[in-house]
Structures are given as structure tokens and as C-alpha cells.
Amino acid sequence: MALFDKFARLAAARRELARQGVVPFGVEVERIHSATEGEIGGRRVILAGTNNYLGLSFDPDCIAAAREALCAEGTGTTGSRLANGTFAGHLALERELADFYGRRGAIVFSTGYLANLGMLSSLTAPGDVLLVDADCHASIYDGARLSGAEMIRFRHNDPEDLRKRLLRLGARAADAVIVVEGIYSMLGDRAPLAEFAAVRRECGGYLMVDEAHSLGVTGDRGRGVAEEAGVESEVDFIVGTFSKSLGATGGFCVSDRPELEVLRYASRPYVFTASPSPSVIASTRAALSILRQRPALRRRLWANAERLYRGLEALGFRLGADPSPVVAVLLDTREQALAIWAGLIERGVYVNLMIPPATPKGRSLVRCSVSAAHEPEQIDAICAAFADLRGIGAAPSRAPAAGGRGGN
Amino acid sequence: MRDYEEILAEIYQGLQDSGQDRASLTEDTELVGDLGLDSVQVMEMLLEVEDRFNISIPVNILADVVTVRDLARQIQRLTGD
């Protein structure tokens, strides 16, 4: 196979989409007006696919903090955390994250992707075992691969399958690292963390939870699904991102393990990359403070999530999970998903198109994510746009006689 | 250690269940080159095989797997532990 032959399949898929008149991956947001509105294709659209759960990317306090840091500390650190790239703000953010989670320590990474890469690749090494939920994010799989550890997948959200696999490991189970997510990004479903924690108690191992989509979203204090499930003390490592509810970029890990402090020196994705810019650190700190002080944002987020979920459910669309800020509309075919996605843009609504291989079990779907910054009227407008497209993806009735899913 | 033919039969069954045409499958069939499967699809297909033989197949072994034969041999090795 010649060097560039490997791209033939991707190029063909891209041509096929372009032939249908759409470029779903790599949409240009020509202008951005707020956390919930922008312009795509010269058209004003409601943004309902941004993961901007608390709407903080346009919060005046976050912007002011970023602006102040930008003027005082410059546009970038131009260096690694190990060299010249650790400013006072980076350390303050680590202290604030540890305090927020009630943990001994925290590490800040430059992106959420790098947080998983950096943690898994340094925590485990050849000879160790990682047990990874089948639907975990690519960053977890890539981190596992970089570590060289033995990686075993278990069935998605299936504590019994995890249990079986831990038992098969025998004595090795004691040092195995189990990785799950709080809320899964594609379908918005939550991990049964209490059950996973029980399996871990019975069979051994360490538990890592990625709260990327649940920080600021669930739990009494907004710490995520582990808090909501009441099992934080049984989670050894929590990783997360600043690029969703905190409205910036970056990632982190918190833990009570004293080794976390030295782990950073062994973490290549931490060592060999530039640290986050001062303005990013400043807005993240402001956003974390808002997340802690304004639980009303979380209530608004959930009210919007319920409103969208109930609206789409009433229209007869098949939805991916219970109500959550991620509302996935399941379609039978790639073509249906594409038609709905493009039809929504024409009607002034941007959501995410998700097709295999990015989706679990080869499903095609359009994924909405809701924000606390959405006005109820915007949620209603999203539902109205979907209503227009009901002919494409909604079942004519919810009666079982409708025949169920197609055989894709 | 499990019988190679038994493992092969399970792999063929798994591939058939995930939509492949049994008649076109041989030990030389390439999972990526011929069937266009990505690693996630291969792992999904193997879930039943893992249950059947009560093993966990590490994702890492796929790096050395090109053909159905390679896969069967790797699984045979794992059942021998």
C-alpha cells in the first residue's frame, strides 16, 4: 500500500457527503454572537451542539478575568509546565480544583484530551492492565495505547461484564485500572457508578471516572456523577475538561493519591507541551468559582434539558437515554441523520451530526446539547425545527405495532 | 488449549452475525483490508467469542492481527493460559 492510499476511503466518504451538498464535519461558524447564537452559511442559528452546558463562554466575569490576565501576563506562556510555563495562576487553579473536589491534589493539563492521555500513559505501563468501558472516549483509548498496558474492553455500562473480566484476571485484578465516564457524550447516558464501585470493592482495582460531560452538570455541588451516586470516596481518580461547562480549554485530574504530585514528571503529554495561556487559566478559575456559587445555573440547564427532551419525545423522535443535557435523536440510517442535520441548519438550528465509527454500535444520530444560557423560547424553536423534519426520523406512532428499528 | 477449528468456527459465526457473507470468508480474509472493519468493530464482534471461551481478549493483540487466521491463533494462545 502506498503512503497516501490509506486516505482513499475517507476521501470517498467526504466526496459523497459533498455531493449531497453538505460539509458536516468542519462547519465554519462564521460569526459567534453569544453562547447560544452564531452564523453558519450566512444564516443566524441557535447553537444546540456546543457542550457549553453552563453558557459561561460569554460570562462577563470570565471575559473580564481573561482580559485582565491577557493584558497583565501576555498571550501565551510559551513553555512547558516543567520549564517556564507554570505561572501563579496554574498553581492557583490546581489548588482550587483540589479544594472543589475535596481532594489532596490536582494536575492541570493543556486540553481534556491530554488529561486522559497524560494520566493513563503515566499511571499504567507495559505489564499493567486497563479495563475500559466499550463506549469510552477516543482520548481514553489513545491514552491506554500510549501507556503500552494491556487494554481490555468491557461491555458498556455493564458492571457484571466488568466483574467477569476482573475475576478472569485473578491476582492481577488488584492493580488493574478501571476507566469509565460519568455522562457519555454521544447518547447522554450515565454510568451506573454505584454498581461499578461495588464491583471494584469486591474484585479489586482502581477506579478512574472521566467527568468531562458531568462537571457542573450533576451532583449537589456540581462535581459530577460520582457525587450524584454518592461514591466519590471510592473513585481514585477524577479527570475532566475545562472546555465544556467551564467554557475554555484544558483538562485536569484530581486524586487523593500522594503519587499524583510526582506522576506529572512522568507524564509525557504534560511535560512535552506548552501550558495553557494565562487568559485561559484566568477564565477557567472565574468559571469554576461561578459553578460553585451559582447552582441556579445547573437548575436552568436541567429545566432546558427536560424541555427539549419532552418536546422531541412528544414529536415521536427516538431518544438515546433519559433526559440529560445531551439529547441524542436516533435515526435508522446515515442518510436520515444527514437530512435532519442539514434540515435543522436550514431552519436555523445547529446540532452535531454523529455517524459511525464515532458512534456506539454503528448508530447514526443527531446530538443536541443544551445550555443553561438557552432561553426557553430557543428550546421551543429547536423543537419547532425538529417538528418540521418529523417525516424523516420520527415514528408515526409510539405503538409497538410500528415495527421497531430497521436492520442496520 | 482450545481446538483451533472450534475457535475458527466461532470467529466465522461472529463475522456472520455482524453482517459478513460467510461464503466469502476464509482463514486468509483480512479484517481491515478485505472486510473494512475498524478495531472497534472487531472488538464488538469478539464479545461473544470472549464469553464463549471465558477469556478477555486485550485490544493490544489487534496490532498483530491481519487475517482471520492471525486472530484465531491469538485467541488460541489466550485460551491456553
Place of cell 458498556: A156
Confidence of residue A12 (pLDDT cuts 50, 70, 90): confident
All three cell numbers of A123:
499511571
- Residue A181 to residue A92: CA distance in whole angstroms: 26
Tell me phi and psi for residue B35, to 5 degrees.
Answer: -95, -15
pLDDT of residue A396: 55
In B35-65, which positions are buried (b, 16+ CB within 10 angstroms) versus exposed (e)? bebebbbbbbbbbebbebbebbbbbbbbeeb
> Is 3.40.640.10 the CATH classification of the domain at A58-293?
yes
CATH architecture label of A10-47+295-393: Alpha-Beta Complex (3.90)
Whether B72 shows a pLDDT value over 70: the answer reads yes
pLDDT of residue B44: 87
Closest CA to A182 of A130, A242, A235, A220: A235
pLDDT of residue A170: 96
pLDDT of residue A29: 94
pLDDT of residue A14: 85
| Segment among A9-18, A188-197, A265-274, B53-62 with least mean pLDDT | A9-18
- Residue A285 to residue A322: CA distance in whole angstroms: 31
Whether A57 shows a pLDDT value over 70: the answer reads yes
pLDDT of A137-181, one tens digit each?
999 999 999 999 999 999 999 999 999 999 999 999 999 999 999
pLDDT of B3-49, one tens digit each?
899 999 999 998 998 888 999 999 999 998 889 888 788 888 889 88
pLDDT of A86-97, one tens digit each?
999 999 999 999
All three cell numbers of A207:
477506579
Does A185 participate in catalysis according to the annotation? Answer: yes
Closest CA–CA distance from residue A166 to any residue of chain B (Å)? 9
Strand (E) or helix (H) holding A102 = none
A357 vs B54: CB contact, 8 Å cut-off? no
All three cell numbers of A358:
464515532
Mean pLDDT of chain A, nearest integer: 93
Closest CA to A300 of A56, A62, A99, A100: A56
Q: What is the ipTM of this complex?
A: 0.90
Does A233 participate in catalysis according to the annotation? Answer: no
The residue among A133, A151, A161 with the most chain B CBs within 10 A of its CB, best to mutate, is: A151
B58 vs A168: CB contact, 8 Å cut-off? no
Q: Which of A139, A185, A255, A267 does the annotation list as catalytic?
A: A185
Beta-carbon count within 10 A of A353 CB: 24
Length of chain A, please?
A: 408
Does A213 participate in catalysis according to the annotation? Answer: yes
| Structure letter (DSSP) for residue A26 | T
pLDDT of residue B1: 63
Chain B residues closer than 8 Å to A151 by CB: 58-60
User: Where does chain A hold its CATH 3.90.1150.10 domain(s)?
Assistant: 10-47+295-393
Confidence of residue A35 (pLDDT cuts 50, 70, 90): very high
Beta strands across the sheet bearing A364-369: A318-319, A326-331, A364-369, A352-354
pLDDT of A359-394, one tens digit each?
877 789 999 999 999 999 999 999 999 999 998 877
Closest CA to A237 of A274, A198, A208, A203: A208
Q: If you average pLDDT over residues A262-285, what whole number do you get?
A: 98
Closest CA–CA distance from residue B9 to any residue of chain A (Å)? 23
Length of chain B, please?
A: 81
Q: If you average pLDDT over residues A290-300, what whole number do you get?
A: 98
- DSSP secondary structure string, A173-230? GGG-EEEEESB-TTT-PBP-HHHHHHHHHHH--EEEEE-TTTTTTSSTTS--HHHHTT
Closest CA to A61 of A208, A248, A216, A202: A248
Q: If you average pLDDT over residues A385-405, what whole number do you get?
A: 64
Confidence of residue A407 (pLDDT cuts 50, 70, 90): very low
Whether A72 shows a pLDDT value over 80: the answer reads yes
DSSP-derived 3-state class of residue A22: coil
Tell me the helix, strand and coil percentages in chain A, rounded to 5.
Answer: 45, 15, 35
Q: If you average pLDDT over residues A193-205, what whole number do you get?
A: 98
Of these ranges, A219-233, A332-346, A349-363, the one predicted with the greatest mean pLDDT is A219-233
Chain A residues closer than 8 Å to B56 by CB: 152, 165, 168-169
The residue among B60, B62, B79, B81 with the most chain A CBs within 10 A of its CB, best to mutate, is: B60
pLDDT of residue B38: 81
Q: If you average pLDDT over residues A301-312, what whole number do you get?
A: 98
Whether A233 shows a pLDDT value over 60: the answer reads yes
Name the residue facing B40 among A150, A165, A357 (closest C-beta). Answer: A357
Q: Measured between alpha carbons, how far is residue A402 from residues A47, A302, A320, A395, B40 in Å?
A: 33, 31, 18, 7, 31
- Residue B56 to residue B66: CA distance in whole angstroms: 19
